[in-house]
Structure 1
Amino acid sequence: MFLLGRRQALALAAWSATSSQAWANAPLTPREQELYEAAKREGEITWYSGQYSADSSEAAGRAFNARYPGVRCNVVRSTSQVAFQRLSQDARAGVGQCDVLSSTNSGHLLQLKRQNRLTQYRPVNADGMLPAIRVSDPDNYFQTTFLGIFVMAHNTNLVPEADAPRSWTDILEPKWKDKLAVGHPGYSGAIGIWALQMRNMYGPDYLRRFEANKPQVGRSSVDPVTMLNSGERAIAVATATGTILLSASRGNPLKPIYPSEGVLAAISPSGIIRNAPHPNAAKLFMEFQTGPAMSMAVRELFADSLRPDVPPPQGSRPLDQVTLLSPSMEEAERGVPEIREQWREIFGI
């Protein structure tokens, strides 16, 4: 079971609190100051968050409020697919409610760009992000704002480490029947990306072989961790390291499994909606997402940092020690809708 020692926990808590306050109080960059003055006249921003968990999304919203008093962040947290569907419903109704959409499915942003539904903006703070993930649209319609490392996990009370699966193909073995938990690509962009990557690596029969083990299918990538905590299932498939480590830090008997082939890297973007009701606050939020304050806020809940000036969360494996697996944005846009249909056919849900 992953648990911080008392000394480690106290040191981390003190360091995190001090660092978070430091970032909240750090002088604004010239661009931030300019946008902040304009954003105060708008008073708020609405963020459709499909990238972070509910806890991390709310923590990010609070950090934004602390750094930019007078501009309230309204956090609308859901899975990425649900966030995109909500945005589509807004468009059909002819209303503008969302300022910034953040999705783990980059195909959503590519589609919005083609439909001329995004505003061009490149945050200045993006220059300080990790070079490996400093990915953005060449026309500056969207920008990377999330790094999610998706692995497996096991309930250590139910499966000893020596018996835990070691690869993405190990979970196809019959001994894991009725012991697996996974999200649903119809709700979670990250699960869609994972299923597509597995199909790319192992062929079209992978999902059928996976289904034969009767995994418990939830909605988001967070749901499998809940199933492990309750003891309902023993192995979580394609869930974020941050979710696992946060749950473990609260006393649950969970441990991440880094598959031998590599981890799924969800390097995911955000974009400003063209009819955003608070355009200056939206640009300020993009600066915030790519700056140190956001990475510090979500790091405290074990989410991965986007920047070299904010260290990775306690207990996670450094990026240079893992192989990152991910389809291209173009592959994701084409392949994830196909995967959703294939999933419904195979799993019946």
Structure 2
Amino acid sequence: MDFMKRAAQVAAVFALMTLNAQAQQSEAALVEAAKKEGRVAYYTSYVAPQLHEAVKKAFERKYGIPVDLLNVRASELEERIRTEQAAGRFTGDVIQHGQASITRLSRAGTIQPYGDVPNAANMIEGQPADGVQTGSLITAYAITVNTDLVKPDEEPKSWRDLLNPKWKDKILSDDMRALGGGFAMFSAIMQEPTLGEAFHRELAKQNIVFTRDVGQSERRVARGEYPIWIPQISVNVLGLKGLPVRVIVPKEGVAYVRLDQAMLKNAPHPNAARLFMNYYLSEENQMLVGSTGLVPVVRNVAEKIPKEQRVMEGATLMGTILVETQQKYLNLASEIYK
């Protein structure tokens, strides 16, 4: 029995070594083909210039392949792609865009299957790649409170705690009636069975104050203008150190937005595109992503990020914006939060 067990272990080790060797050969062939194409054009609507520059430089340093980076707003990106493809000018290779938006673009024929991207097999639970689009990073949304105005025993441990009468007229919120973090929160709550539409109708009675100036909202709470800010985006949490605020992960979980990547139709540099997509899902790059307050989308990465850089660690991903319900929920948010 011991001999058979040992033989099975040896066979498993050899099988793993074979797979690793095949993977190395496959990546080597991909790198060679990508280098022959000479460059890769990367289009993204995620406004994070420092992150994109860091990824661009790391990829170029590793593979010697230049990255042509286009970082614009979502509406500008989609118009750029529409114009280029309508004119038969296919210049973009890889797109990074919201999950629901890429799903919509895929259905419109703007995206093509990406082929062999080995690291796409390593996605975290609940976020699988499908051969057409795959996650690249996740932004999560929770609750921030002013610690001078909200005592520890008063802190909202649940989204439902925001309904406490003491918070009436005292909650600052990103506008849920327009695309953005507020709408991601609205959608996630709609998908949570214990909350849903009934919760939103009760929350509307709290006379929450809407804003679209997300960059200043956390500071307004820190200054004491409001005791509570919703939803708190994970990527901004590291910048709040030293301020009288605390970020709270509700027990039901956090809203999130997944930024996906995909290969554009008729990409002129398909091998370089695959290599770039594969690099984005590498442990090396996902460590970089996670160190900025974003949630890595690849397994066995989050726990390797330095403790002081981990944001919303262990939070349940509650729900996100879905293409099937996007317009319906936008209409409902406008009806509830008048």
Go from structure 1 to structure 2 and tell me whether the alpha carbon gap of 1:199 and 1:269 turns closer, same or farther (over 3 Å shift): same
CA distance in 1, matches of 2:82, 2:177: 18
Q: Paired residue for 1:148?
A: 139
Q: Paired residue for 1:109?
A: 102
Percent identity for Structure 1 against Structure 2: 23
Which of 157, 162, 167 in structure 1 is aligned with 2:153? 162
Whose Rg is larger? 2
| Structure 2 residue 232 is the aligned partner of structure 1 residue 236 | no
Q: Paired residue for 2:285?
A: 294
RMSD: 3.3
Is the contact made by 2:158 and 2:251 (CA closer than 8 Å) also made in structure 1? yes
Instruction: Give the partner amino acid of 2:295.
Output: D
TM-score, normalised to structure 1, is 0.73
Instruction: Give the partner amino acid of 1:180.
Output: L
| Structure 2 residue 244 is the aligned partner of structure 1 residue 248 | no
Provide the secondary structure at the position in 1 that maps to 2:273.
Answer: helix
Gaps of 5+ in 1: 1-27
Is the contact made by 1:101 and 1:272 (CA closer than 8 Å) also made in structure 2? yes
CA distance in 2, matches of 1:206, 1:116: 38
Which of 11, 27, 39 in structure 2 is aligned with 1:43? 39
Shift of 1:182: 1.8
Q: Following superposition of structure 1 onto structure 2, how do residues 76-115 of structure 1 map, counting pairs within 5 Å? A: 76-78=71-73, 83-84=77-78, 87-88=81-82, 91=85, 95-96=89-90, 98-104=92-98, 106-115=99-108
Q: Paired residue for 1:127?
A: 121
Go from structure 1 to structure 2 and tell me whether the alpha carbon gap of 1:34 and 1:225 turns closer, same or farther (over 3 Å shift): farther
CA distance in 2, matches of 1:141, 1:257: 35
Gaps of 5+ in 2: 1-22
CA distance in 2, matches of 1:240, 1:272: 27
Which of 292, 311, 314 in structure 2 is aligned with 1:316? 311
Is the contact made by 1:184 and 1:192 (CA closer than 8 Å) also made in structure 2? yes
Q: Paired residue for 1:72?
A: 67
Provide the secondary structure at the position in 1 that maps to 2:197.
Answer: coil
Is the contact made by 2:139 and 2:258 (CA closer than 8 Å) also made in structure 1? yes
- Of 279-288 and 179-188, deviating more is 179-188
Which of 264, 269, 282 in structure 2 is aligned with 1:273? 264
Q: Deviations over 1:173-231 (max 9, x none)?
A: 4433243232556332x5433212212333435444434423232166x6643544565
Q: Paired residue for 2:187?
A: 196
CA distance in 2, matches of 1:133, 1:61: 28
CA distance in 1, matches of 2:152, 2:216: 22
Q: Deviations over 1:57-78 (max 9, x none)?
A: 4433333333333412515154
Instruction: Give the partner amino acid of 2:112.
Output: T
Which of 56, 60, 80 in structure 1 is aligned with 2:51? 56
Instruction: Give the partner amino acid of 1:261.
Output: E
TM-score, normalised to structure 2, is 0.75
